[in-house]
Structure 1
Amino acid sequence: MGAKKSKETSSHPKKSDPAELTQEEIQLLLQNTHFNQKQIEEWHSGFIKDCPKGKLDKKKFIDVYKQFYPHGKADKFCGHVFKTFDTDGSGEIDFVEFLIAISVTSQGDIKDKLRMAFNMYDIDKNGRIDKKEMEKIIEAIYDLLGEENRKGENSPPRRVLKIMAKLDKNNDGSLSPDEFINGCLNDEILRHLLAPNAC
């Protein structure tokens, strides 16, 4: 950001090695996560062990995620999660993106977690979640959880109608971040479905 040059550490003037953790990255993570420097360095060494090039691609990300949901199909859901974490749209998650996401999902306050869930569900990134986007997410969640019963009241379109009826306070057919966050805060069942890590 500033034009002031920092002291160049070792032989890496401009992070020529993506697996290296720079002082700037440590500072950024100290400011934007709940981790201390020792924890950041421990996370980094684990990340580099799994991703020696310092980047996590979508396939590897899905493979890791599948370990948590061995009975479901994680691909669709992981695609949405991956896009949310890949903040620069590079198709890969670097260590900084990874740790900020981990911090929010594991230690952030409930509103931060719900905001991240909203960002994940806002597929076209227009700041609103419409019925089509919500339906895709419900289908992805069903796949992830191995939910076979998708008939009647439990069908994704019916489920979405119920969710929208509860959360869409101004009846404009889409959810704003506030409608989504406040609705999930006020409805434990929806919060468990749409943002399980916020419970």
Structure 2
Amino acid sequence: MGGKQAKPVSTELTDKQIALLKANTKFTEKEIREWHAGFIRDCPSGKLDKKKFVEVYKQFYPQGKPENFCKYAFDTFDSNNDGAISFEEFLIAISATSQGNLDDRLAVAFDMYDISDDGVIDQAELTKLIIAMYDLVGETNRKGDHDPKKRAADIIAQLDVTGDKKLTKAEFVSGCKSDPIIRRLLAPNA
């Protein structure tokens, strides 16, 4: 008695949700309903948890180990930090990573790499993400130029305009836009 019950998640789309998603994405109502049907088919509870999120990534990267990468991506997409991704969070993330202009997509990548959420990416954060990306795609050569720590240091040295050994969002976006090799590595979908 007296304990709060968790409010059940509705698996039906409301007109208000559709309007909100249309305003925040480039999806049509028909596309939103199609995405929603697939989301509910895969996540009948209306929430995508970390375990299911990893399962989805394993389908796309069968040769890799997506757990490490998924930890960072999941935390980025779980915008309200409730431990699950709602349909709205899911669709806005899909939209930002696939429909947005290059600056928008690079900004999403920056937000994922800024693990400490302090507005900058340092070498330790970038190293962790490079290791996670190597794991994701099954890359085992991590010597020489492929060493994650060396690669992170090289990228920061190249993109760091202010010389503080950290990347701001502006430095990250600008650097990725000007260097196609770095962009392919750090933001393959951008």
Task: Place the TM-score, normalised by the shorter chain, in its bin.
Answer: over 0.9
* 1:50-89 correspondence to structure 2 within 5 Å: 50-89=42-81
Residues 1:174 and 2:166 are matched in the alignment: yes
Distance in 1 of aligned mates of 2:44 and 2:8 = 14
Amino acid at match of 1:47: F
* TM-score, with structure 2 as normaliser: 0.94
Residue 17 of structure 2 is matched in structure 1 by 25
Residues 1:159 and 2:146 are matched in the alignment: no
Instruction: Return closer, same or farther for 1:139/1:26 CA change in 2, 3 Å cut-off.
Output: same
Residue 35 of structure 1 is matched in structure 2 by 27
* 1:173-192 correspondence to structure 2 within 5 Å: 173-192=165-184
* 1:141-160 correspondence to structure 2 within 5 Å: 141-160=133-152
Cα deviation code 1:118-169 (max 9, x no counterpart)? 0000001111101110000010011111111111221111101110111111
Instruction: Return closer, same or farther for 1:158/1:42 CA change in 2, 3 Å cut-off.
Output: same
Distance in 2 of aligned mates of 1:18 and 1:108 = 28
Residue 115 of structure 2 is matched in structure 1 by 123
Distance in 1 of aligned mates of 2:173 and 2:35 = 29
Distance in 1 of aligned mates of 2:12 and 2:117 = 31
1:34 counterpart SS class: coil
Distance in 2 of aligned mates of 1:17 and 1:130 = 38
Amino acid at match of 1:99: L
Residue 111 of structure 1 is matched in structure 2 by 103
Tell me the number of residue pairs that the alignment of Structure 1 and Structure 2 aligns.
184
Runs of 4+ in 1 over 3 A off after TM superposition: none
Residue 85 of structure 2 is matched in structure 1 by 93
| Unaligned 5+ runs, structure 2 | 1-6
Cα deviation code 1:171-191 (max 9, x no counterpart)? 111100000000000000000
Distance in 2 of aligned mates of 1:166 and 1:85 = 28
Amino acid at match of 2:171: E
- Please provide the CA RMSD for this pair: 1.1
Residues 1:47 and 2:39 are matched in the alignment: yes
* TM-score, with structure 1 as normaliser: 0.90
| Unaligned 5+ runs, structure 1 | 1-14
Distance in 2 of aligned mates of 1:184 and 1:81 = 19
